[in-house]
Copies of this chain bind each other. A is one copy, B any other.
């Protein structure tokens, strides 16, 4: 198995040289053919997917996990639509950034280039297979996919038709590789191939990400959990605060940019919390409050220390009353996951303080945390949301799948 995986990585590395030189035209042609192939062969893909779903049911997997695994007509159409959107994105490769003339006449600038070979390690959702491969292709990178064992047949079928598209366009199908081994060792071997793979992006639960980061000899961009906060400041517009807090928690609670903890300034709490809690109750949100919250509104469960550290991904919310903005910021930086956090305020200085001092990938004034997303930020599709600080932070689009090299135009300059 070790040798096969090394062989796969070597093929990807070779393909990456071809992809790095490929024009936008030929990459877009391949993407069009890939979309067409998924569309034309949806029956076969659905058939393969059913094998995975049946096996999952046999294994006694629970509802949410099986739901993420299931493909249907609508989800395949979604994958196809995503590919067509990526075609419309501008090609980041080859862009020249910040070229300046130096005093000695040298022209020095940066040229955007692909990273090379990107490894994606992910869990059950089969649409990640297509989304990730397509974003890597557009940005000129070869990709090595290692999906979850539960979606084995689905991933095989999807990759088959993506590779067919590459071939039909005259590009090498080796630019998209799928690790066919289900054993955990396969990932370990993959993470040691720093001669062939330039970047690893793990997507999934905290356990997966932590294990990958510890094992890897290859640079990793982590996509950890989102413990997101909304802080309702003393100077908040009450109605706006209710709208934003409600949206951040309820609109889609199962995603990483949903709010997990609501922080409320003590001066606005008596006015704000009763109607807010009423509204959350109507949406069947389970609430867990600090002592002060429970004094103010009766019948709220107690929030324990571990609640402040918890990503519920569900209709559960912890609520805390704070003395001032300093306490709110300290709470966010200490208990949060540096993902997405918002303040609701009409006070200029408070908004600036929050923006400056909250150490998160996305910091909001007067808007819902739910906007943290490549599409919403105007970057096009995203390969994930980085909670790391190096190379890429927050939503990662195709530009974040590139690096640069310095290019220098001279006319015979030598160093003296």
Chain A residues within 8 Å of B, Cβ to Cβ: 20-21, 94, 100, 102, 106, 108, 111, 113, 115-116, 198-199, 213-214, 217, 219-221, 237, 240, 243-244, 246-248, 251-252, 355-357, 359-368, 370-372, 376-378, 388-391, 393-395, 403-416
* Minimum distance in angstroms from A93 CB to a CB of chain B: 10
How far is it, in angstroms, between the C-alpha of A378 and the C-alpha of B100 when the chains are bound?
9
Given A108-B377, A377-B406, A414-B251, A388 and B243 contact (CB-CB distance below 8 Å): no
Contact of A367 among B106, B359, B376 (CB under 8 A): B106
Contact of A393 among B220, B356, B404 (CB under 8 A): B404
Identify 16 residue pairs between A and B in the complex whose beta-carbon atoms are under 8 Å apart, listed by A's number.
A102-B378, A106-B371, A108-B378, A113-B359, A115-B390, A198-B389, A243-B412, A243-B414, A246-B414, A251-B415, A360-B405, A370-B415, A376-B415, A377-B406, A391-B391, A394-B405
* Minimum distance in angstroms from A213 CB to a CB of chain B: 7
Q: Beyond A221-B390, A367-B414, A370-B415: 11 further Cβ-contacts under 8 Å?
A: A21-B356, A102-B378, A111-B355, A360-B405, A363-B406, A365-B410, A367-B408, A367-B411, A376-B415, A393-B405, A394-B406
Report yes or no: A414 in contact with B247, Cβ–Cβ below 8 A.
yes
A372: chain B residues within 8 A (beta carbon): 406
Number of copies: 2
* Minimum distance in angstroms from A344 CB to a CB of chain B: 8
Report yes or no: A408 in contact with B363, Cβ–Cβ below 8 A.
yes
Report yes or no: B390 in contact with A199, Cβ–Cβ below 8 A.
yes
Contact of A116 among B362, B376, B389, B404 (CB under 8 A): B389
Question: Of A94, A357, A363, A406, which is in contact with the most chain B CB atoms at under 10 Å from its CB?
Answer: A406
Report yes or no: B355 in contact with A407, Cβ–Cβ below 8 A.
yes
Report yes or no: A376 in contact with B102, Cβ–Cβ below 8 A.
yes
How far is it, in angstroms, between the C-alpha of A199 and the C-alpha of B390 when the chains are bound?
8
How far is it, in angstroms, between the C-alpha of A219 and the C-alpha of B415 when the chains are bound?
34
* Minimum distance in angstroms from A244 CB to a CB of chain B: 6
Residue of B nearest to A217 (CB): B214
Residue of B nearest to A416 (CB): B251
How far is it, in angstroms, between the C-alpha of A376 and the C-alpha of B108 when the chains are bound?
9
Report yes or no: A403 in contact with B376, Cβ–Cβ below 8 A.
no
Report yes or no: B407 in contact with A363, Cβ–Cβ below 8 A.
yes
A367: chain B residues within 8 A (beta carbon): 106, 408-414
Residue of B nearest to A367 (CB): B410
* Minimum distance in angstroms from A159 CB to a CB of chain B: 25
How far is it, in angstroms, between the C-alpha of A378 and the C-alpha of B105 when the chains are bound?
12
* Minimum distance in angstroms from A35 CB to a CB of chain B: 25
A364: chain B residues within 8 A (beta carbon): 407-408, 410
A106: chain B residues within 8 A (beta carbon): 367, 371, 376
A219: chain B residues within 8 A (beta carbon): 219-220, 388, 390
Residue of B nearest to A16 (CB): B359
* Minimum distance in angstroms from A415 CB to a CB of chain B: 4
